[in-house]
Every structure is written in C-alpha cells, then in structure tokens.
Structure 1
C-alpha cells in the first residue's frame, strides 16, 4: 500500500487595487499593459469605473488582484465614490508632461479618504515618460512621494517601461500586509 502526500494548500488572498488620477493620464493604458501586455494608442475615456482581475503568485501565495479603473473626469464622482471603500492599494497616476495633473494628485488622496479608502498602500506613478515633453521632474515627484510615505515609479504605457515594477511592488506590499494580519 502506498500513500501519496496530499498537496499542500496554498494561501490565497483577494486584494482590491484602484487607479486614481486625472482624465487622460494613462490609468487604463497602464492597467491594460500590466494585465494584457498590450498598448492601445487610440484614446478612449473610461466611463465611470472599469474592472479587471489578474491572478498573480506572490512568494508562493495565490493573489487575485481586483483592479478598479476609475474615470478621472469630475462628472463621474458619484460613481467613483461607491468604490473607494475597502481599497487596499492604489496607483495614483499623473502625466509627467502635464503639470496640472501633478498639482491635482493631492485632490485624489483627499477624495479617496473622504469616501472611505483608509490605510491604502499608494504608489505614485509618473506616466508617459516616453513623450519627452516633461513638465514635472523626477526629483520633484520623488520628493513629493517621499514626503507622503509613498513609493514613486516612472512608467511608459507605450513602451512598458516601469509598468510591471509599479504594479508588482504595490501588489507585493499589499500581500505582505495581508500576511501580517
């Protein structure tokens, strides 16, 4: 009679990650690049909230990442505000070629807190570094992020530069927080 060792049960987590930032900064393109390894150059504005899911192995733990892609236009606040609660992580995105999108990032933090997103792990992302029309320096954005206790990563949805690093570091940090609970 032989006995086979039963497979070990792996830990599983489901985490909620949201995207925040002004319309047109590239939130949807970043998510598409991360999830599908694609870049869509034709701009189509998100209406309300879009949703995606990506399974990832983080250090031997099965993590199901629920990604909520928020429309950045003010007219969608009434829809967005229903999805902030229970968010565990966020990408806070601005366009390095557009100073106004950088100046608005504090507004996004305040909105998220007002509608119930507390104790989120946030990664600040300076997107569109491939365009070379920079209005916000890496040093300025890095300093702002450090002052807030966020990590800062620069990305290009078009080339894929920095995208996996941004998402995987955020997801790993959220998964580590789960392990500690």
Structure 2
C-alpha cells in the first residue's frame, strides 16, 4: 500500500529571547517606562520595586519573533545583593535618571560601573532622562547629551506619564541589541 505524500514540516525555530535590564536610582521611573511600553499605561501612584520585577513582551524585529525579557532592577541600596544576580547575560539596558533630580544624574557613573562589573559589560545601553514633563528640571538636555556622548550611548528624554519618546527609546535599544546579536 502506498503512503500518502506528506509535506516535510520544517522544525520549529526556538523563540529568540533578549534580556533587557533597567538601572538607575530609586524613583526615576524605570518601572513606569517599562509599563508604558509593554502595557501602554501609566500608574501615577509610586510603588517601589522590591528586588526585581520581571515581564515579557513579544515583538517582531526584522521579521523575526522576539520575546523581550525585561528585568526591572530595584535601585535601592538595600536590594544590591539581589539586583547583582541579574546583570549577567543582559544584552541591553536602559540607564535612567530623573531630569528633575541632580542626584540621580550624578549617580549614573555608579550604575554604569556596577552593571559592567557584575556581568552586563557587553550589553548595549541607552541613556534615558525621564520625567521631562514635570517642569522642575535641574539637569539640562545638554548635560544628558554630553554624558551620553562620553559613554557612546544614544540619549532620549522621555515621559512615562504621556509616553513621549518611550517607544522610540526602546526601539533604538532593541536595534542596538539586534545589531550585536545579528538576527
């Protein structure tokens, strides 16, 4: 008895995953930026991240299905031991400061060093000056640009509340990551 001619089904390609981390001082809006991008919403009540928060968003990059794994790292000093376990194998990250907080801007060097020392040295980063809508600005766009240029980072000013530049920032980050991993 003849068997029917079956078409060969190609094996399923495993989903491409990229690991993205968020780093910066507490209350600069790291979680809000991720929530704005992933869920298109803003939560106005501040709730500090305890340790690490995690989320996944499927997207398409260059025609390939990609699952972006977001690791939102708490900025509080009391979470350093927990946070330090999650830098390893990060392929990209957002380095965030609040344009209304000089201290959060001045801490950027610390966050770069910590990320590099603890396993994210090869990750692609973007610099994000968040809360540009608040109006109590103490860090100029020029200062943000200079820091970014010094460290070879693209610079974005965002507002998680209104969503301004959030999608553009993440897409620029994903493009940098994809360029490095060559999808």
The interval holding the TM-score normalised by the smaller chain is: over 0.9
1:82-125: CA deviation from partner (whole Å, max 9, x where unpaired):
00110110100000011110000000011112211121101000
Q: How many Å separate the matches in 1 of 2:59 and 2:174? A: 9
Deviation at 1:142, TM superposition (A): 0.6
Question: 1:1-181, aligned counterparts within 5 Å?
Answer: 12-179=15-182
Question: Which sections of structure 2, spanning at least 5 residues, go unmatched?
Answer: none
SS at match of 2:112: helix
Deviation at 1:176, TM superposition (A): 2.0
Deviation at 1:126, TM superposition (A): 0.2
1:41-60: CA deviation from partner (whole Å, max 9, x where unpaired):
00000000000000110110
Matched residues, number: 180
SS at match of 1:81: helix
Question: Which sections of structure 1, spanning at least 5 residues, go unmatched?
Answer: none
Q: What TM-score, normalized to structure 1? A: 0.93
Rate the CA distance shift 1:10–1:154 in 2: closer, same or farther, 3 A: farther
Where has structure 1 moved over 2 Å in runs of 4 or more? 1-12
Q: How many Å separate the matches in 1 of 2:13 and 2:142? A: 41
SS at match of 1:139: helix
Q: What TM-score, normalized to structure 2? A: 0.92
SS at match of 1:126: strand
Larger Rg: 2
Q: How many Å separate the matches in 1 of 2:60 and 2:14? A: 10
Q: How many Å separate the matches in 2 of 1:46 and 1:79? A: 12
1:140-181: CA deviation from partner (whole Å, max 9, x where unpaired):
11111011001100100000000001111101211221117x
SS at match of 1:111: helix
